[in-house]
Every structure is written in C-alpha cells, then in structure tokens.
Amino acid sequence: MIANKKKVKREGKEFPILVYPEKCTGCRTCQVRCSIRYLGEFNPFRSYVIVARDHGKRTTALDFTDDCTWCGYCARFCAYGALVLKKSVKSGKGGR
C-alpha cells in the first residue's frame, strides 16, 4: 500500500489552528495563501481551507479539506482572529 502523503505530514501532529468562524469576514486571504503555497496559483476556491459565506445571514462556516496538511500557514495571515495558531495563543502574540 502506498503511504498517504498528507497523513504522513500529519503524523504525531495536533491540529495547529483554533477556529472562530463568528469572527470571519469572508475575506478569503487564508484561501489565497493556501492555494499559492500548495497549488502555485491564486485560486481561493481550490485551497484546502473552505470559507462558506452565507451573505443573507451574514455568517461564515470554516472547514478544511482532507488534503489539508495541518501546516497552519493560512492562520498566519488571518487579520480578523478567525484562524489563530495555537502557539500564538500560548505566547500571547495573537493570530498573526
């Protein structure tokens, strides 16, 4: 059986991001950053973080695809505190 690359990358890791969907503005910066890093293209809709904005209710759901490697990179660029790196919380540095 061929080793699953993303599972190898996740092995022994704890999911590194705290998620606060109520703070999300739907800016999609996290998606752009992930897509550039992993796909080499500016395409938020192919990224491994899912931002599902309900404009009517003004709410957002945040989720991660199975391809997400749990690298935490996207959370470094969330300016609104919706994705926060766990180590940033511990060090009191906020989400960036």
Closer by beta carbon to ligand SF4, 35 or else 90: 35
Which of 68, 84, 85, 88 binds ligand SF4 (CB under 6 A)? It is: 68
Which of 5, 40, 41, 82 binds ligand SF4 (CB under 6 A)? It is: 82
| Torsional class of 94: left (φ above 0), alpha (ψ -120 to 50), beta (otherwise) | left
Taking CB under 6 A as the rule, does residue 27 contact ligand SF4?
yes
- What's the rounded Cα separation, in Å, for the pair 96 and 94? 6
| Residues 85, 86, 88, 92, CA torsion sign | positive
Binding stretches for ligand SF4 (CB under 6 A): 24-30, 34, 37-38, 48-49, 51, 62, 64, 68-74, 78, 80, 82-83
